[in-house]
Chains A and B, each alone.
Chain A
């Protein structure tokens, strides 16, 4: 299997059980999921459907109870904490519902952070972080603290931080949950652009508006995938893209 055809995510029989015996909760009851490079997947489901647990496992923040998980061809089970930290740093870019920027730290410094943990020198960090902020349209606001930015702007800083390391997977957890309509549109447009440029996106959401932008929509219920709907092909443009406008 060559690097290009190998799926970014390859989950087989993933289960996650909290607790033991009679009180055990099966958050994931056997999930199989493959996500190809360049795909844009929306994972939907009501709260308690297991989508957050799936996101934690996909994001290497939590370990599955059983099953096999290959991220970009690498088995991530039973890795040391330090090894998992390195995998998160190199392979995954996180976008959270409440932005999770480091307070009292400028936009530029926030975006530099993953590069700093990777051990990249200051000048290269500066250039890459500036480029990422330009990419999300915040080139003029690099020195602002998170408290000086609107919610939409903060989320765009978070997206810049997620893409600055050039990860194989952009993992977003309710990215528009804390945003107004206008900012939501901005962020979704940004996701479309990132998808167009070939990035792999997995977005956890319960909003149909968000899912409408994805090339593929997965619905979860009671720890299982109940539907898997392909909207457009992996190598096609996302469905809501106004191709003319982007081009």
Chain B
């Protein structure tokens, strides 16, 4: 018998019990849709992580002080560095017995600028941080998440843009001018009008007057950390008013290109080691490479994506078992029909084809609707992640759905075909 005939019989079989077919299809539908949506969420979140780290500047190195304490060693220092990076540049105090006060100074930062020993260093910016800075304007007040005092080079290293007003300049830095750049979150907290209206106004930071000269471009948020809840000001003015003339929180360094990040890192270490009289074994600072966290974060988000995919695949598997279950019921119900078909000349292959096609049609239909639901569902932001639909996941989910139909349809179809016509005809 031709495939077209088998297909017609299979379609008749599927449409004979529409409610049951629809419910069976639902299992596959949910499986396929969840594969597509969950993989899209996984991909979307890893894109978001990559983007936010790229915004940090993938060519960036961060020099952080680390205490050479007896208990933790450099490993603990490294952890503290990462913690402080995610804490938005706030310094973390590592407990333990300090043998030396690890301080980064303005001179350390200056030593790295245009140093012939560090040819791969493009830019250097010292960073001083102030904690719990209260910004107020006309009664509106906001505690700034990250308060950074630095040089204009910082904006270049950090890939920062200015959405309104201007950046502060080397001249502002040199004359300790009290000017600030506001992140959009801070700006929105201080005014109910357009944030650009703040440019030129004077705000109070912990009671000290600063003039707003510009608004920083939006960076978006990653996880709980709002990258726009920040204020950037010249380090000189910040030290005058808020932090005093102590040590630096960190030094930001930009390598000349993505390929020279590691050589820039070793050059920075060389320069600082000789300045501070330390070696690799008793180094009291650490140089942190943004691209290394990029790869770590990418790895972890890939794991996350795989886990989501596995969960979705399990639901597809459950859907497939549902199809097998219903096909077995169908075969039992239609035992007589199978007997009649065999009596009037249907071969084993005809029966297998018919029931296999029924299972495949159920799965294909479920897969098709699942793809539509999956694509529609991926248009929404899910737990703060904008899903990115991967073409391969759509093709794969649909393909797996059809394969599920074949796999789970095979057993019921063979059982149908193996029925002996006299037994099948006698079946009540």
B133 is an interface residue with CB less than 8 A from chain A: no
Shortest distance between the CB of B335 and any CB in chain A (Å)? 12
CA A82 to CA B347, docked complex, whole Å: 5
Cross-chain contact B345 with A114 (CB below 8 angstroms): yes
Cross-chain contact A117 with B16 (CB below 8 angstroms): no
Cross-chain contact B344 with A89 (CB below 8 angstroms): yes
A residues within 8 A CB of B395? none
Q: Smallest CB-CB separation from A89: which chain B residue? A: B345
CA A21 to CA B184, docked complex, whole Å: 94
Cross-chain contact B348 with A82 (CB below 8 angstroms): yes
B residues within 8 A CB of A119? 1-2
B5 is an interface residue with CB less than 8 A from chain A: yes
Shortest distance between the CB of B8 and any CB in chain A (Å)? 9
Which of the residues A56, A105, A116 comes within 8 Å of B422, measured between beta carbons? A56
Shortest distance between the CB of B61 and any CB in chain A (Å)? 74
A29 is an interface residue with CB less than 8 A from chain B: no
B residues within 8 A CB of A105? 12
B341 is an interface residue with CB less than 8 A from chain A: yes
CA A102 to CA B5, docked complex, whole Å: 15
User: Residue among B12, B337, B344 with the most chain A CB within 10 A?
Assistant: B344
Which of the residues A61, A62, A104 comes within 8 Å of B16, measured between beta carbons? A104
Which of the residues B5, B337, B349 comes within 8 Å of A116, measured between beta carbons? B5
Q: Smallest CB-CB separation from B424: which chain A residue? A: A61
A135 is an interface residue with CB less than 8 A from chain B: no
Interface string of B50-76 (1 = CB under 8 A from A): 000000000000000000000000000
Which of the residues A62, A101, A117 comes within 8 Å of B350, measured between beta carbons? A117
Find residues 325-354 in chain B having any chain A CB closer than 8 Å to their own CB: 336-337, 339-350
B425 is an interface residue with CB less than 8 A from chain A: yes
B421 is an interface residue with CB less than 8 A from chain A: yes
Cross-chain contact B345 with A100 (CB below 8 angstroms): no
CA A13 to CA B340, docked complex, whole Å: 28
Cross-chain contact A117 with B343 (CB below 8 angstroms): no
Quick one: given A104-B12, A119-B1, are A61 and B348 in contact (CB under 8 Å)?
no
B residues within 8 A CB of A56? 422
A59 is an interface residue with CB less than 8 A from chain B: yes
Q: Smallest CB-CB separation from B351: which chain A residue? A: A85
Cross-chain contact B348 with A85 (CB below 8 angstroms): yes
Cross-chain contact A94 with B12 (CB below 8 angstroms): no
Quick one: given A90-B345, A117-B1, are A61 and B12 in contact (CB under 8 Å)?
no
Apart from the given pairs A61-B343, A86-B347, A88-B345, 7 other A-B contacts in the complex at a CB distance below 8 Å: A86-B345, A88-B344, A102-B337, A116-B1, A116-B2, A117-B341, A117-B344
A contact residues vs B (CB 8 Å cutoff): 56, 59, 61-62, 81-82, 85-86, 88-90, 94, 96, 100-105, 113-114, 116-119, 161, 165
A–B Cβ pairs within 8 angstroms, 19 of them: A56-B422, A82-B348, A85-B342, A85-B345, A85-B346, A86-B347, A88-B344, A96-B340, A100-B339, A100-B425, A102-B341, A104-B12, A104-B16, A116-B1, A117-B341, A117-B346, A117-B347, A117-B350, A165-B345
